[in-house]
Structure 1
Amino acid sequence: MSFYTSLSGLKGAQTDMSVISNNIANAGSIGFKRSAAQFGDIFASSPSQSTKTIAGQGQRLNGITQQFTQGSYETSEKTLDMAIVGEGFFVVKGAPPTNAVTYSRNGAFTPLEDGTVVDTTGSTLQLLPVDTDGNVTDASLGGAYDLVLPKVSSTNPDADLVNVSVGIDGLVSATFADGSTEKLGKIAMASFPATEGLRPVGDAHWQSTGESGAPVIDSPGSGAMGAVRSGALERSNVDITEELVLLIAAQRNFQANAKAIEGASTLTQTVINMN
């Protein structure tokens, strides 16, 4: 039995090292959120047995949870590079035919030739409609639409686009050569009842699940939503020093369990030799 007990610890330490290694590998990834492996002990006995005479039977992996703490910020010279200060996720929509909606902390957005603003995966940033005063008129996923930068003013076809600004409240405004401005909408953001239940799909993107609950859509600075900082990017929340310490501990656990298996093997061999 000691073989299997130590084997469960060996597998657990290996999983722990894999999780930590992934954290370290993504220390420079924009918007990455570190994960941590959580373990529990295995204990089994029959109703007629006394638990005072039963040893534990090892450990098991209870889950790998993501840590959605705030990452540090890196300044950028691009207006469409955005970082979320606080809670929430950018809402982005994939290309047809799936049009899959995902939620991201990766605020590296770039305009395409047609003016569509996309992230590093090619998904389009979503906006919420606003009135003339900049107030959101439809805070729902169904009311969101793609952010497309206009090339000319809607009221003056001869006035080209000269500047785009993003406020901390997520209001995207376009300024044209004739001095006029247009409010394009507010950046759509999402929050969840149980953020840890989100399903990661890579590139600091997540999908909602039954465990995370349905998304609550709103603009930056509203409710639980954080503000948006233009000209900045959120780095990963990985602390290299902490991860290296955890890696050393995981290595020691692996070595100790391997030593326990070696000890059990020696005892078994001794018993065999007695016969």
Structure 2
Amino acid sequence: MGFQQGLSGLNAASKNLDVIGNNIANSTTVGFKSSRTEFADIYASSFASSNNVAGIGTRVQDIAQQFSQGNTETTNNGMDVAITGNGFFRLQSVGGAVSYSRNGQFQLDKNGFINNNGQFLTGWMADPTTGLLVKGGNPVPLQVSVGNIGARATGGSGVANAGLQMIMNLDASKPVISRAAAPAGVGPLAITDPTTYTSSTSATVYDAQGVSHTLSYYFTKVASNQWEVQTSFDGAAPVKTGSPAGTNGYLVFDGNGKLDAATVPTDPLTATAATNVAAFNFTTNLVAPNGATSPFAFTVNFAKSTQFGSAFGVSSLTQDGYADGRLTGLTISKDGTVQGNYSNGQTKPIGQIVLTNFANVQGLAPQGDNRWVETFASGAARTGDPGTSDLGSLQSSALEDSNVDLTGELVNLITAQRTYQANAQTIKAQDTIMQTLVNGL
């Protein structure tokens, strides 16, 4: 027995202790991936064909990273993100160098970039006008604008029937109110006189400057299954909804309490036929009193409203306008979409985080700071949206813990220590034999 085997064993055991110590030291490092020491035996090449030879020791063949999933721990920070499944965050330095990480401890810098330890998180940015993600080419650093979202007038969303949508029930048991002049009837509607209308409700709408206005609706049962609709804008005198001439200011129902698009209503004052709007979309043209863009025009939709013998009630009231609002927080969804939350209750897509995976993740080269870089051994980076292909999904307000099994590493530490001591004993034994030979000469 020579010194070679014992020395190689000491070197290998020492390297193994280094790896175990590094794992233990990073047992609480977010996104850390443990490593293990892999050994190989050594034989003299000149004796490789012989079956009766002793090896000349061992060597460290590889320090293999273990990319198993770490536990997910929830946090109180909405900017923290954990990856569940395969993939890495794609990071970019100020100089443009790309690296990859599983550490999702992100924050905003003074310029609004989402970053980790000075490395910018990359993805797809959303078009500020349309809100659509601009994909293609290389992902770019994600930047959050801290400016206000701006205002939008009711009806300004550009979608079909943009404006105000109201679903309600009009009480079929209510009596007819005549619009004839007194004493035969009650005459014109007066918003201060509840005997001149059957039911009313109000909605808040916004002009192009984001100033809110009150739009009050007055529903009067003027004939069997026929309701007159009049509107008061900011407390002004009411007009028939949809037109100054009142040609489509009516809702007509059938005998089953459903809206009737086929029956032609009759104006109770002129006794002439009025227009029945098939889709029950009423056009509202208003003048904004504060100098905002006029006419202030949008559609009011009453589709799906009913006339049953129960109390009047509005079951749904939505409109697409809003006042200006400032950024109050961010929300990150499972597919990586980053949405801004604003003080006016609106949300706006800002961008989307991308993930990257490799054919051989163990071939990545560690760079420190919980980052790796691509190598020839890892294969080319494959980047895509979270939840697609072999890429995992994201969980916000959470972090992936280190995948170090501390109990297992402590056991490995004891084993490695014994191995080191045993190899030292082989050297000691060889030293004793050599001493015996020297003393006997």
Q: With structure 2 as the length reference, what TM-score do the two structures score?
A: 0.58
Higher mean C-alpha displacement, 147-156 vs 247-256 = 147-156
Change (3 A) 1:45 1:139: same
| Among candidates 114, 118, 121, match of residue 117 of structure 1 | 114
1:175 aligns with 2:341: yes
Q: Residue 53 of structure 1: SS of its match in structure 2?
A: coil
Equivalent in the alignment of 1:32: 32
The Cα shift of 1:177 comes to 2.5
CA deviations over 1:135-194 (Å, ceiling 9, x no partner): 865355x2x122211213454494211231111111111122233322112101100011
The Cα shift of 1:114 comes to 2.4
Change (3 A) 1:50 1:227: closer
Equivalent residue letter for 1:91: R
Q: Residue 416 of structure 2: SS of its match in structure 1?
A: helix
The Cα shift of 1:73 comes to 1.5
Between Structure 1 and Structure 2, the one with more helix by share is 1
C-alpha contact 2:149 2:326 (8 A) present in aligned 1: no
C-alpha contact 1:139 1:219 (8 A) present in aligned 2: no
1:16 aligns with 2:16: yes
1:61 aligns with 2:227: no
Q: Partners in 2 of 1:227 and 1:133 — Cα distance? A: 25
Change (3 A) 1:50 1:33: closer
| Among candidates 145, 149, 153, match of residue 150 of structure 1 | 145
Change (3 A) 1:188 1:50: closer
1:184 aligns with 2:350: yes
Equivalent residue letter for 1:94: S
% identical equivalent positions = 40
Equivalent in the alignment of 1:4: 4
The Cα shift of 1:52 comes to 3.0
CA deviations over 1:36-83 (Å, ceiling 9, x no partner): 111100112536x86233111101111111000011122111111000
Equivalent in the alignment of 2:394: 228
Q: Structure 2: 5+ residue runs without aligned partners? A: 152-322
Change (3 A) 1:84 1:135: farther
Equivalent residue letter for 1:104: S
**1:66-81 → structure 2 map (5 Å cutoff):** 66-81=65-80
C-alpha contact 1:93 1:125 (8 A) present in aligned 2: yes
Equivalent residue letter for 1:108: Q
Q: Structure 1: 5+ residue runs without aligned partners? A: none
Q: Partners in 1 of 2:146 and 2:134 — Cα distance? A: 25
Q: Partners in 1 of 2:364 and 2:46 — Cα distance? A: 38
Q: Residue 52 of structure 1: SS of its match in structure 2?
A: coil
The Cα shift of 1:127 comes to 1.6
Between Structure 1 and Structure 2, the one with more strand by share is 2
Equivalent residue letter for 2:404: V
C-alpha contact 1:208 1:214 (8 A) present in aligned 2: yes
C-alpha contact 1:106 1:204 (8 A) present in aligned 2: yes
Equivalent in the alignment of 1:103: 100
Q: Residue 110 of structure 2: SS of its match in structure 1?
A: coil
Q: Partners in 2 of 1:245 and 1:274 — Cα distance? A: 44
**Structure with max Cα Rg:** 2
Q: Residue 46 of structure 1: SS of its match in structure 2?
A: helix
Higher mean C-alpha displacement, 188-197 vs 49-58 = 49-58
Equivalent residue letter for 1:86: G
C-alpha contact 2:85 2:392 (8 A) present in aligned 1: yes
Name the Cα RMSD after superposition: 2.1
Paired positions, count = 269
Change (3 A) 1:168 1:11: same
Equivalent residue letter for 2:108: P
C-alpha contact 1:139 1:218 (8 A) present in aligned 2: no
Q: With structure 1 as the length reference, what TM-score do the two structures score?
A: 0.91
1:259 aligns with 2:425: yes
